[in-house]
Amino acid sequence: MLTLTLPCPAKLNLFLRITGRRDDGYHELQTVFQLLDYGDTLTIEYRDDGKITLASDLVGVNNEDNLVIRAARKLQTLTQNPNLGASLNLEKRLPMGGGIGGGSSDAASTLVGLNHLWQLGLSLDTLAKIGLELGADIPVFVHGKTSWAEGIGEKLAPIQTENCWYVVLKPDCHVSTAEIFCHEQLTRHDSPIKIATFLEGGTGNSCEPLVRKLYPDIDKALIWLEQFSPARLTGTGACVFASFKDQVTAQTVCEQRPREFSGFVARGVNTSPLHQALGLLTELS
Ligand SMILES: C[C@](O)(CO)[C@H](O)COP(=O)(O)OP(=O)(O)OC[C@H]1O[C@@H](n2ccc(N)nc2=O)[C@H](O)[C@@H]1O
Ligand SMILES: Nc1ncnc2c1ncn2[C@@H]1O[C@H](COP(=O)(O)OP(=O)(O)OP(=O)(O)O)[C@@H](O)[C@H]1O
C-alpha cells in the first residue's frame, strides 16, 4: 500500500501535578493522558525520490517548523536511505496551543505511519524516543494507550478509564506551554500521588490557578462549564473540559455554549484511533 490516511487524536490531561524540575529546566509531572476519538487527519503518500513535502491548512506555522516535517526529516536521517520520501497532507481540526496535544499527535502519526510505509521495522519504544526529542507529549501518542504518566510525560503505564464523553471548550486565546512552565508563580512542588487517589477523584491541574489568573477567558469558560459537570484545564490550556455519561447530554451542553467559545464533543478511548487504523491495515494486508 503506497498511501496511508491516519488519525491524529487529541488528548486530555485528566489531572496534572508538577512534582519537580530537572536540571535542564523541564518539569517532572504526574498526569493521566486520556486519548480521544477526535483529531487531525494525516495522509502520507510514499515517494522514492527522497523528497519530503507537506501540504497543510495550519495557519501561522512555516512548513519547516511544522512538527510533521520535523518528525519526518528526523526519521529519514536515521534511515540513511536517500530514496525514502513522502508527500504529507495534514488536515487540522485540533486548535493550536489548546493543551490537547495537536502538534504532538501529528508528529506521532508521522513517525508511526512512515515506519509502516518505509518498512523500517522500528519498535514503538524506539519511535517514542525519537519523538521525545521533539516534544514531551509525543511518546504517549506513539504508544497509543490512555496512560498514567510520570517523568516529563514519557514514563507511561496504560490504564483503563471509565467510558465517557467529553465536552472540550476552547476560549479565544492561545497559551504558550513554555510561558506557563517558566512563570515564577507556577506551583512546582506537588507531592506525588498514587493511582488510587486519581481514581477517587481527588486531583486537579496545578497549572490551572495561574492560567485562570493570566487568561480571564479561560476562567470564564471553566465557570460556564462547571454549571453542568466538574470542569478542568487540560495541560497548560487553553482548552477546558468536563465529562458526561452519554453523548446526547454532552452534545446538548456543547450546543448551548456561549459563541465566544469554540468546542467539540469527543469520546474517551483507551486505544488510539491511530493504532486501530493501523491494526485494521495489518489485518487487511
Ligand atoms: C503540559 C503538557 O501538555 C502536559 O501533557 C506537556 O507536558 C507539554 O508537552 P509539549 O507541548 O510536548 O512540550 P514541549 O514542546 O516538549 O515543551 C515546551 C516547553 O514547555 C516546557 N516544559 C514542557 C514539558 C515539561 N514536562 N516541562 C516543561 O518545562 C519547556 O519549557 C519547553 O520548552
Ligand atoms: N502540526 C502542528 N500542529 C499544531 N501546532 C504545531 C504543529 N507543528 C508545530 N506546531 C507548533 O507547536 C505549538 C504547540 O502546538 P499544539 O497545538 O501541539 O499545542 P498544545 O495543544 O498546547 O500541545 P500540548 O498539549 O502538547 O502542550 C504551536 O504553537 C505551533 O507553533
User: What are the tens digits of pLDDT across the range 167-199?
Assistant: 999 999 999 999 999 999 998 999 999 998 998
Whether the domain at 3-159+272-284 and the domain at 165-269 fall into the same CATH topology? no
Q: Is 181 in the pocket of ligand 1 (CB under 6 A)?
A: yes
CA–centroid distance, 114 to ligand 1, in Å, is: 25
pLDDT at 1: 60
Q: Taking a C-beta distance cutoff of 8 angstroms, is the pair 130, 75 a contact?
A: yes
Residue 96 counted as an annotated binding residue: yes
Residue 104 counted as an annotated binding residue: yes
Helix, strand or coil, per DSSP, at residue 268: strand
CA–centroid distance, 177 to ligand 1, in Å, is: 6
Q: Name the percent of the chain lying above pLDDT 90.
A: 90
pLDDT at 202: 75
pLDDT at 281: 67
Q: Tell me: cis bond preceding 238? Omega within 30 of 0 counts.
A: yes
Q: Is 103 in the pocket of ligand 2 (CB under 6 A)?
A: yes
Q: Work out whether strand 165-170 and strand 147-150 pair parallel, antiparallel, or are unpaired.
A: unpaired
The pLDDT tens digits of the residues spanning 6-44 come to: 999 999 999 999 999 999 989 999 999 999 999 999 999
Q: How confident is the model at residue 285 (pLDDT cuts 50, 70, 90)?
A: very low
Angle at 77 between CA 74 and CA 80, to 5 degrees: 150
Tell me the average pLDDT across 79-90. 96
CATH 3.30.70.890 fits 165-269, yes or no: yes
pLDDT at 75: 98
CA–centroid distance, 284 to ligand 2, in Å, is: 33
Q: How confident is the model at residue 279 (pLDDT cuts 50, 70, 90)?
A: confident
Q: Which residue among 36, 54, 61 is best mutated to probe the pocket of ligand 2, counting the most ligand atoms within 8 A of its Cβ? A: 61
Report the helix count and the strand count for the chain, using DSSP H and E. Answer: 10, 10
Active site amino acids? 11, 137
The pTM is what? 0.96
Grid cell locating 64: 519547516
CA-based R_g, the chain, Å: 19
Evaluate if residue 74 carries a pLDDT over 50.
yes
- The third-level CATH classification (topology) of the domain covering 3-159+272-284 is Ribosomal Protein S5; domain 2 (3.30.230)
Residue 105 counted as an annotated binding residue: yes
Q: Is the ipTM of this complex over 0.90?
A: yes
Residue that the C-alpha cell 512512515 belongs to: 114
Q: Provide the residue ranges of all domains of the chain, joining segments of one domain with +.
A: 3-159+272-284, 165-269
Positive or negative CA dihedral for 222, 233, 169, 265?
A: negative
Residue that the C-alpha cell 504517549 belongs to: 140
Helix, strand or coil, per DSSP, at residue 206: coil
DSSP 24: T
Q: Is 67 in the pocket of ligand 2 (CB under 6 A)?
A: yes
pLDDT at 256: 98
